[in-house]
Structure 1
Amino acid sequence: MARKLKLLVLMVFVLALGACEQRDHDGTLAKVKGLTTPEEVRTALGPADRISKTGTTEIWEYSTSAADVCFAAAGNAIIRLSSCL
């Protein structure tokens, strides 16, 4: 019984560590270099950690190890923002 409990605690700990893992900042920027559509960015990075709307523009925020990386997506265009709003 104690062995099963230890194994369960270890599994929960490993899962918790995986959930805390953040994207590498430089790696994130490298993945999106040259991408020009929201679909390309979403394919490269996956869904944004946070999405907010300003009018018809969506602000996509990705958390990374150094700083958040944000994009403004409107229609079929996307640009990386110099800072998150």
Structure 2
Amino acid sequence: MKLQKIKLGAKEAGLMAVASSLVLGGCFDPSQKEILEKVQGLKSAEKIATALGPADETSETGAMTLWRYSAQEGDICFSVVRDMALRMACR
């Protein structure tokens, strides 16, 4: 099978780039329900990290670290101190 080269003009290439970024950017965020179902009953930071993977954003204030996970309907945050993690309101 032989592949054919397709020549794209600047307009078509720009449209493809925009379409690709829209398709790939943000479409993979899980719903809040999916995130919360994965961590239901978990209080250990290690278990939450195992269930969800690394946080999309982290910030530290003293001994507390805030983990922020992006979700389709709005972010889900956890306050982490040592190995204890509790869900909290995102700011």
TM-score norm. by structure 1 comes to: 0.78
How much does 1:23 deviate?
Answer: 1.5
**Please, which runs of 5 or more residues in structure 1 have no aligned partner?**
none
Q: 2:40 aligned to 30, 33, 40, which one?
A: 33
Q: Decide which structure has the larger Cα Rg and report it.
A: 2
In 1, the alpha carbon distance for the partners of 2:73 and 2:59 equals 21
Sequence identity of aligned pairs in percent? 34
Counterpart of 2:24 in structure 1 is 18
Runs of at least 5 residues in structure 2 that lack an aligned partner in the other structure: none
What is the count of residue pairs matched by the alignment?
81
Amino acid at match of 1:42: A
SS at match of 2:60: strand
The residue aligned with 1:77 is 84
Counterpart of 1:29 in 2: which secondary structure?
Answer: helix
What is the root-mean-square deviation in Å for CA atoms of aligned residues? Answer: 2.5
- Aligned twin of 1:3: 6
Tell me, in whole angstroms, the C-alpha distance in 2 between the residues paired with 1:67 and 1:43.
21
Residues 28-64 of structure 1: CA deviation (Å, up to 9, x unaligned)? 1111101111111111111111100111110000110
Higher helix share: 1
TM-score after normalising by structure 2: 0.74
Provide runs of 4+ in structure 1 moved above 4 Å.
none
Q: Structure 1 73/4 Cα, relative in aligned 2: closer, same or farther at 3 Å?
A: farther
